[in-house]
Chain A
């Protein structure tokens, strides 16, 4: 498949945007409930990682932003879009920079993205709720982000390998 023409790039990004919304919906349908509020797998990060590795940073960013806004409008509300944006932008910045650095594979980048996402959302929660005591939640979010990022990273690794082979 020739992925270098503008048309095929647009089509590819469109497909991945649709995929990421579906992933967001799947996660919304099956809350990855472990009894602690706010912990989730972050399946949609799969699409960001795939795009970071298979296309370029700009496309990945645009698709990511589109997904956050679309998912927020479909399943969330104004406040949840704010939280998603805080987590999404910080984790994207973190992952894009780490990819340039080239010392980690997609699994490590996914872990950092997961942790960065959780920390950014915690920061947003502290700012919005104005209650510093939420910070006690930090260790839980750190562990959850690491584990979720690891799992999503493994998924991304196999997807990227499979797509590259074709």
Chain B
């Protein structure tokens, strides 16, 4: 093994680690928002960076409690009988939380 090898090793690792840190810092507050729609119409837009709880009135008078906690959005309570949305857990960019009876959809979008 030559000295150049170790220099190369150190340089590549440093570049990798620094770019990883920079990217995480940049992406850390990339401004993801939780979007709540009722019957296809957007009613709420909440940044994931701020913890909050909001009651949403759904189609036909049903209600859902949308909770944002630790950068994640979920539905904690629902007036509907099946509670599918509550059991779905956290919403992500690939997985929306849906309450079919109240026609409430909670999805994650990038701002």
Judged by DSSP, the binding face of A is helix
Q: Is B94 an interface residue (CB 8 A)?
A: no
Q: Considering the chains assembled together, what is the distance between the CA atoms of A153 and B5 in angstroms?
A: 10
Query: What are the 8 A-B residue pairs with the smallest beta carbon separation, nearest first?
Result: A108-B5, A143-B16, A139-B20, A142-B16, A139-B19, A146-B12, A107-B5, A105-B2
Closest chain A CB from B29 CB (angstroms): 15
* A residues in contact with B19, CB < 8 Å: 138-139, 142
Q: Is B70 an interface residue (CB 8 A)?
A: no
Asked if A140 and B20 sit within 8 Å, CB to CB, the answer is: yes
22 contacts between A and B (CB under 8 A): A103-B2, A104-B4, A104-B5, A105-B1, A105-B5, A107-B5, A107-B9, A108-B1, A108-B8, A111-B8, A111-B12, A115-B12, A139-B20, A140-B20, A142-B15, A142-B16, A142-B19, A143-B16, A143-B17, A146-B12, A146-B16, A153-B5
Which parts of B1-50 form the interface with A (CB within 8 Å)? Answer: 1-2, 4-5, 8-9, 12-13, 15-17, 19-20, 23, 27
Asked if A107 and B12 sit within 8 Å, CB to CB, the answer is: no
Known A139-B17, A142-B19; 20 more pairs at CB < 8 Å = A103-B4, A104-B4, A104-B8, A105-B5, A107-B2, A107-B9, A108-B5, A108-B8, A136-B23, A139-B20, A142-B12, A142-B15, A142-B16, A143-B13, A143-B16, A143-B17, A143-B20, A146-B12, A153-B5, A157-B1
Q: Considering the chains assembled together, what is the distance between the CA atoms of A71 and B2 in angstroms?
A: 33
Q: Considering the chains assembled together, what is the distance between the CA atoms of A136 and B9 in angstroms?
A: 21
Chain B: residues with CB nearer than 8 A to chain A? 1-2, 4-5, 8-9, 12-13, 15-17, 19-20, 23, 27
Which parts of A118-166 form the interface with B (CB within 8 Å)? Answer: 136, 138-140, 142-143, 145-147, 150, 153, 157
Asked if B9 and A146 sit within 8 Å, CB to CB, the answer is: yes
